[in-house]
Amino acid sequence: MGLMFLNALKKDKQLVHYLFVIFCGSLCMVAAQKLSAQSVGAYQYLIGLFTCATCNVSWLIARTLFREHSPISRRHVAFAVTIAGLIMFNQTWHYLVSLDPQPLPTSDIMWRLKQGVNEVTILLSSSILALSFWEAIRGYSGKTQSQQLQSILFASAFFLAVFNASILPKFIFSAAEIELYNPIIITSSALLIVLAMQAVMALQARVKNDQALKQEDDIGTINNDTSHLNESGNQDVEPELIVGITKLINEQQLYLQASLKISDFAQALMVPEYKVSRAIRYHYKVANFNLFINQYRVKYAKKLLICDQAKEWSILSIALESGFSSLATFNRVFKSIVGDIPNEYRKQNGDYYNEGIRELVD
């Protein structure tokens, strides 16, 4: 519950924080249902309706943490919602049965349907836990040292949690002892996963902060760097490469892609990374790739901030739409390049821009 409120009150929230809040809230409802079962009776199943965001949301969190590009699509959400619906169906069924020993649907078909839904729910929940584990270890060899540490931490916690909840008790406890210690077993397993998620989120936040500080250093030294660019290097830049970079920027707007790397540019152009870097330094007269991309992102964001169509958009929405991964990075980079933070820029230029458009129309 503490981690839920900590992430809910976080200022610069991203998708993973919202999902984590939902996940922790669902676990809290699981605890509330178990603790209040004897005192509230049948109403425990109404509480159980809100326990539908555990395994399925943990999978969405894993995808968000370990996939940089388009981690969640409509089909992923649909799959998670399907599991949530099955859990809510089971809880509703138990509630109706607990109200009357002879529930309304008394036919064998309805009872077989209930049993089938329960088996499908268990199967899907188990499968989605395996998918969460897979998300962490997928592409392990191609990750950086920091990303590998995050993968090991997350995957180890998931493996130990499942082992602790399902396998280990059978070796050290009798059936009666398992029933007695089951709350402790389940709680320890759940907390292990929650703490691992929070640790990975903290590690990723630290990496992003380090990258942001590096960008500030790069921007602060731009004049010194560009003054030392020699014109002879421009002769080594292939014209075809400049045409390719121009197309990626102007036609494909690749700079709007979050977490864009120079390797993505090089792969799209099918050239070594050093050639892209050299073209940016000597042809475009920009010190590094990050500054080169951020200049286009800020230019795009400036248009959104003052246009009438996006006047209802939040600053966070404009930041994400412009290719930035977080609001903090957007504010920092925007101020470094423009001189004002985005909100101030919108206030100072939005009204003037819209009035000018009206005068032209009139």
Mean of per-residue pLDDT scores for the chain? 83
**Residue 150's closest CA among 163, 131, 137?**
137
Within this chain, do residues 43 and 80 fall inside the same structural domain, yes or no? yes
Total domains in the chain come to 2
Within this chain, do residues 201 and 243 fall inside the same structural domain, yes or no? no
| Residues 286-330: tens digit of each pLDDT | 888 889 999 999 999 999 988 888 888 888 889 899 999 888 889
| Residues 25-35: tens digit of each pLDDT | 999 998 888 88
- Model confidence, pTM: 0.60
Within this chain, do residues 131 and 228 fall inside the same structural domain, yes or no? no
| pLDDT of residue 227 exceeding 50 | no
Q: What pLDDT does 308 receive?
A: 82
Within this chain, do residues 60 and 197 fall inside the same structural domain, yes or no? yes
Q: Which of 216-225, 235-244, 319-328 is the most confident on average?
A: 319-328
- Residue 104, classed as helix, strand or coil, is coil
Within this chain, do residues 227 and 357 fall inside the same structural domain, yes or no? yes
Within this chain, do residues 44 and 154 fall inside the same structural domain, yes or no? yes
Task: Report which of residues 157 and 352 the model is more confident about.
Answer: 157
Domain boundary among 176, 210, 244: 210
Task: Report which of residues 65 and 230 the model is more confident about.
Answer: 65
Query: 277: domain range?
Result: 213-361
Within this chain, do residues 291 and 146 fall inside the same structural domain, yes or no? no
Within this chain, do residues 202 and 316 fall inside the same structural domain, yes or no? no
| pLDDT of residue 201 exceeding 80 | yes
CA distances, 45 to each of 151, 283, 310, 353 (Å) = 36, 66, 44, 56
Instruction: Please give the average per-residue pLDDT across 124-131, as a whole number.
Output: 86
Within this chain, do residues 261 and 350 fall inside the same structural domain, yes or no? yes
CA distances, 163 to each of 53, 156, 186, 308 (Å) = 21, 10, 11, 55
Domain boundary among 143, 178, 210: 210
Q: Binning pLDDT at 50, 70 and 90, where does residue 359 land?
A: very low
